[in-house]
Amino acid sequence: MPLSAAFGEHGAVSVGIVLVGCFSLAMSVQSLLTGSLGLIPLNDLDRAALVESLGGMAVLTPGDRTLDEVQFSLMPLLLIAAGVSTLALGGSIALLRVRHQPLPAKSGFGVAAPWLWWLLPGGVELLHLLAFAAGLSGASSLLYSLSSLVLLVSLAGWLSGLLVLQSKSDRNLEPVAQSRLPASWPVLVGIGVFVAVFFTLNVQLYRGLLLPHGDSAMYEEHLWNLLHGKGFRSYLDQGLFLGEHIQVVHVLLTPIYAIFPSMLTLEFCETLTLASCSLPIFWLTRRASGSNWCATLLALSWLLYPPLQFLDIAIDLKTFRPISFGVPALLFAFDQYERRRYRTMLVLFVVALLSKEDYALILGPFGLWLAWDALCQRRRAAATCDDPQPTTSKLRASLPGLSLSVFAVAWLLLSTRVLIPWFRDGAELHYVAYFSRFGESPGEIVVNMLTKPGLLWDALATAGTASYVLTLLLPLALLPLVGFSRFLVGVPILGLLCLNELIQGDPMPWHHFHAPLLPLLFWAAAGGLGTLSRLKLDRLQERLRSVLQAGDAKLAAAAFSACLVAGAVVGIGPLSIQFWSPNSFYAWQKLYVPGPRAELFPKVLALIPPEARVASTDFVHPRFTHHERSYDYSNYPRRVANYEDRVPDDTDFIVIDTGHYYSEIKSLDQARELRTEPDKWEVLDTGTQGYFIVLKRRDGK
C-alpha cells in the first residue's frame, strides 16, 4: 500500500492533522500538569517525579509536600506524542497490509482520521485562554474544569478510530465466521489473562494479610463450618447468615471446596466465573450485530470495565462476595433466552436469586420486557398474515413474562418481609438504614417514595447521582442507551442504587451494590449494536450513509476504547495509573508484595493450636476460620458476646494485629483485656517485633 494512499484523499492535510494533533495533545497535557489534574489520579509526589523526568522543575512545600510550582518545556511532550503517532501510524499501515485490507473508497483522511480527536483538547484549551483574555471568568473556569475529561475522551476516540481502521471498511459489518471455538481467540486469550492476573492479585492480597474477614473471608468460614457440622454461619454473623441475606449460592462450591478447603479456592472460582461472562456477551453481540469484530470488542470491553474489576477486588480490598455469581448467571440466562432454551434460563434465574435477593429487582422488570417482546413478535407475525392473531393468543404469549414478574415480586417480599426477619429474630433489615431519609421500615420507605415526589426528586437530582450514572455508562461510550428498551429493565435498580445514602456519599461503583446491574448494561449494549445497520437510509443523503458505514464497529470500538481509558483513570488493576504510581495507596509495591508483617505472621500461627477458640482482628481473622471457633475482636458488639464490649467467655486466645493501617491498637497498654481483666490474660512472646499481640487466657480463668 503506497504511503500516499494510506493518508487518503487529502494527503498533505492528513499529515498536518497528525502534526497539529500532537501539538494540541502536548499543550493540553502541559496545562494539566502545571495546574489541576482534574480526573487524572496522580498525587503531588508522583506528578513532581513525572515533571522532573520530563526535564522540568517541580517545587514541593516543605511541610505537607504539596506541589507549589511546576515548570517544564513543551518539547518533551511533543516528542512523546510524535513517537506514539509514528508507532501507531506504522502499526496501522502494517496491519492493513498483512490483512490485505484496502482503505475505504471514501476514506477522507485515511489512517490520519483518528488524529482528528487529538485536536479536541487543544481546541478546548484555546477557548479557555480566549475566555480568560476576554474576562469571562465563569466560562474560563468551566472550560478548564472540563479539560481533563476532554483529554480522556480524545484519547478514547483516537483509540477507537485506530480500531475502526482495522474493521472491514468495504461493507457495514464483518460477517460471522464459523468456528469450533466458543468465541474468537482474542476473547479466549483475554479471559485467560484476566483470570491469571486477577487471581494472582487476590493471592498476593491474601498472602500479604490484606484480605478482610468481614464481608469477604467470612463466606469461606460458612463452607468450613457447614462441612464440620457447625451450621451455615460464621461467628461474625448475628446468628445464622440467612438473617443478613438469602444468599446461599456459594454452597454450590462445596464439592470443590471439600477437596481444596482454602479461601483461595473461592477466589479462583469467583474470578473465573466473572471472566467467563465474556462468552455470553460475545454470543449476544454476534447474534445482534452479525459481526465477530463487534462481538470481540464488546466481550473484551467487559474484561476492561472498571465496575467489573471492582467486583473482583473492591476498593476496600474485599475480594469475594457471592453476589458476583449472579452476574454470569444472568448473562448466560439472557443468552439461553435468545436460543429459546427456556428451562435452562429459569435454572440460571434461580442461581441468580440465590446469589442475593437483589436480583429479584432485575427479574421483575425483565419479565415485563419478556411480555412486551412477546406481544411485539405476535404483532409482527400477525402483520404478515391475512387473519390477525386473536387477543387470547396475545395474552397467552405474554403470560410467561408476566408470571416471571409476579414470581420475582413474591420472592422479594418473601425474602425481605418473612425469611430474613425470621432469622434475625424479628429485627429489621440492616440495609434499611441506607434509605433512612424515606423512613425506618421497608413499607414506610416505599410509601414515601411513591407519595412524596418532591422528596424523591431531591434525593435523585444530585451531583452524586449524575456521577454514579456516568461512571457506569461513560466507560461503555453510552452504548447501553442505544439498546434503550433493554436499558429500561435496569432503571428501577439503578434508581434505588442512586438513592442509597452510602453511594450518594461516595458516588462510584467501587463496592458490590452494582453487581445486578452490570449484566443488564452489557445485554442492552449488545442489543444496541446492529441498530445502525438496520436503519432505513434511502431518503437520506449519500454523505450521511458514508458517515454511518461500519456504524456498529464504531460503537463497539468506542466502548472498548472508553473502557480501556476509564480503567486507567479510575481502576486499580495493572492497566491503571494508580497501580504503577509508587505513592498511591493502591501501588503494586504496597498491596501485592507481602511485607514484614505477613512474613512474621507464621510465628503467631504456630502458637495457637487448631482446637483453640480465637478472637482476632479483621485482617488476620481469615487465618483462624479453620480453628474450633473464630471470633471477631473489635469494638463492634456481637451476639456471641451478648452484645457487650468483650470477647466471648470461651475465648482461649486473642490475636491483635498492630501493623495494619486500620489497626486501632498499636501497643500492649491499649489492649482492652489487659486494662479491664489483667489477671485473666497472659501476654505471649511472639517474636514479631511488635506487629502482633497475642493474649492467652490463664488456666481456670
Each residue of 67-94: pLDDT tens digit?
Answer: 777 788 889 989 999 999 989 888 887 8
Predicted confidence at residue 139, as pLDDT, reads: 83
- What are the pLDDT digits (tens) for 187-246? 999 999 999 999 999 999 999 999 999 889 999 999 999 999 888 888 886 666 777 788
Is there a domain that residue 613 lies in?
Answer: yes
Q: Is residue 381 part of a domain?
A: yes
pLDDT at 106: 43
> Is 493 a residue whose pLDDT tops 80?
yes
Q: What angle do CA 171, 175, 180 make, to 5 degrees?
A: 160
> In a 3-state reduction of DSSP, which class is residue 655?
strand
Q: Is residue 388 part of a domain?
A: yes
What does the radius of gyration of the chain's CA atoms come to, in whole angstroms?
A: 29
CB atoms within 10 A of CB 582: 12
Paired residues of 694 in beta bridges: 655, 684
Strands 613-616 and 653-657: parallel
Q: How high is the pLDDT of residue 564?
A: 94
The parent domain of residue 362 ranges over 356-427
C-beta of residue 580 within 8 angstroms of C-beta of residue 588: yes
At 497, list the grid cell. 442504587
Contact 564, 571 (CB under 8 A): no
517 confidence band (pLDDT: 50, 70, 90): very high
Whole-number Å distance between alpha carbons of 592 and 320: 17
Burial label, 653 (beta-carbon count in 10 A; 0-12, 13-18, 19+): buried
> Is residue 29 situated within a structural domain?
yes
Identify any residues that bridge with 692 across adjacent strands, giving them in sequence order. 657
Q: Give the pairing type, strands 629-632 and 653-657.
A: unpaired
Q: Which three cell numbers stand for residue 289?
A: 450485530
pLDDT tens figures, 241-273? 777 788 899 999 999 999 999 999 999 999 999
What pLDDT, in 10s, does the model give residues 531-556? 765 554 444 444 444 444 456 788 88
| Dihedral (Cα; 387, 389, 392, 398), 10-degree rounding | -170
Paired with 657 in beta bridges are 692
pLDDT at 8: 53
Residue 457 in this model has a pLDDT that exceeds 70: yes
Residue 400 within a domain: yes
Of all residues in the chain, the percent with pLDDT exceeding 70 is 88
The one-character DSSP state at 575 is: T
Digit-coded pLDDT (tens) for 39-64: 788 888 888 888 888 888 877 787 66
Share of the chain above pLDDT 90, in %: 45
Q: What is the pLDDT of residue 345?
A: 95
Range 393-402 burial, b when 16+ CB lie within 10 A, else e = ebeebbeebe
Residue 326 lies in a domain: no
- Lowest-confidence region among 89-103, 262-276, 356-370: 89-103
Q: Which amino acid is at 290?
A: G
pLDDT at 133: 84
The amino acid that residue 680 corresponds to is K
Most confident of 156-160, 506-510, 553-557: 156-160
Q: Which residue has the higher pLDDT, 564 or 446?
A: 564
669 lies in some domain: yes
The least confident of 46-60, 269-283, 326-340 is 46-60
pLDDT of 3 strictly over 90: no
Mean pLDDT, range 394-422, rounded to an integer: 87
Task: Tell whether 544 is covered by a domain.
Answer: no
Pick from 155, 78, 144: nearest CA to 120: 155
> Of the candidates 427, 452, 487, which is a domain's last residue?
427
Residues 522, 281 contacting (CB under 8 angstroms)? yes
Sign, Cα dihedral of 227, 228, 230, 235: negative
Of 256, 262, 261, 237, which is closest to residue 247 (Cα–Cα)?
Answer: 237
262: left (phi > 0), else alpha (psi -120 to 50), else beta?
A: beta
**Total number of domains in the chain:** 3
Higher pLDDT, 97 or 678: 678
Residue labelled with grid coordinates 495493572: 574
Let me know the angle formed at the C-alpha of 70 by 69 and 74, rounded to the nearest 5 degrees.
Answer: 160
Query: Mean pLDDT score of the chain, rounded to an integer?
Result: 85
- Rounded Cα–Cα distance for residues 278 and 179 (Å): 17
Burial class (CB in 10 A: 0-12, 13-18, 19+), 437: middle
- Rounded CA gap, 621 and 218, in Å? 9
Q: pLDDT at position 256, please? A: 96
Q: What is the pLDDT of residue 277?
A: 97
Of 169, 191, 214, the one marking the end of a domain is 169
Domain termination site, one of 137, 169, 201: 169
